[in-house]
Amino acid sequence: MKGECLCGAVKFEIKEQIRNLYQCHCSLCRKTTGTTANAATLVRAAAFCWLMGESKISSYKKPTGFRNDFCSLCGSPVPNRLEGTGVVWIPAGLLDELVESRVAVHLHTKSAAPWELDSAECIRIDGGPDSVDTLNQLL
């Protein structure tokens, strides 16, 4: 299984089956991704390797220890070796091949953004809206 960031400068490969995915709804993951929840999986460090672009990775660490590694060219979150665990955190959106696993666990749902809660009720359209007016008229 291969994956890459938005610009393609950072590429990696996972040499084991992707197991269950999870989505974290905590406020840190919301800031990191700019969206409702951070979809990810965890793989063994021994099964993970960088193919290119490791030198393009920047890292931000909060005083609490929460760390976000990202491509310094395009800003995509990138895999992050979790210190002392032997495990690598993989942002699911970077995976480029067919992922047969599905999101199985939602974490930190108590901190979910209130605007997220009704997402199951949302209107779903195949593509993007033609304009802001079109989007607003859907409601």
Binding to Zn ion (CB under 5 A) within 25-64 occurs at 26, 29
Residue 2 has which token pair?
């291969």
Q: Which is nearer to Zn ion, 7 or 45 (CB)?
A: 7
Q: Which is nearer to Zn ion, 48 or 89 (CB)?
A: 89
Segment near Zn ion (CB under 5 A); pick from 6-14, 39-47, 86-94, 115-123: 6-14
Residue 86 has which token pair?
């032997």
Residue 1 is a binding residue for Zn ion (CB under 5 A) = no
Residue type, 135: L
Shortest Cβ 57–Zn ion spacing (Å): 9
Shortest Cβ 111–Zn ion spacing (Å): 8
CA distance 10 to 114: 34
Residue 24 is a binding residue for Zn ion (CB under 5 A) = yes
Dihedral sign from CA coordinates of 27, 32, 33, 39: negative
Distance from the Cα of residue 103 to its chain's centroid: 12
Residue 7 is a binding residue for Zn ion (CB under 5 A) = yes
Sheet holding 48-52, edge to edge: 2-4, 11-14, 48-52
Q: Which is nearer to Zn ion, 74 or 92 (CB)?
A: 74
Give the H/E segment covering residue 53.
none
Q: Which is nearer to Zn ion, 46 or 106 (CB)?
A: 106
CA distance 123 to 115: 14
Binding to Zn ion (CB under 5 A) within 60-99 occurs at 71, 73-74
Interface positions with Zn ion (CB under 5 A): 5, 7, 9, 24, 26, 29, 71, 73-74
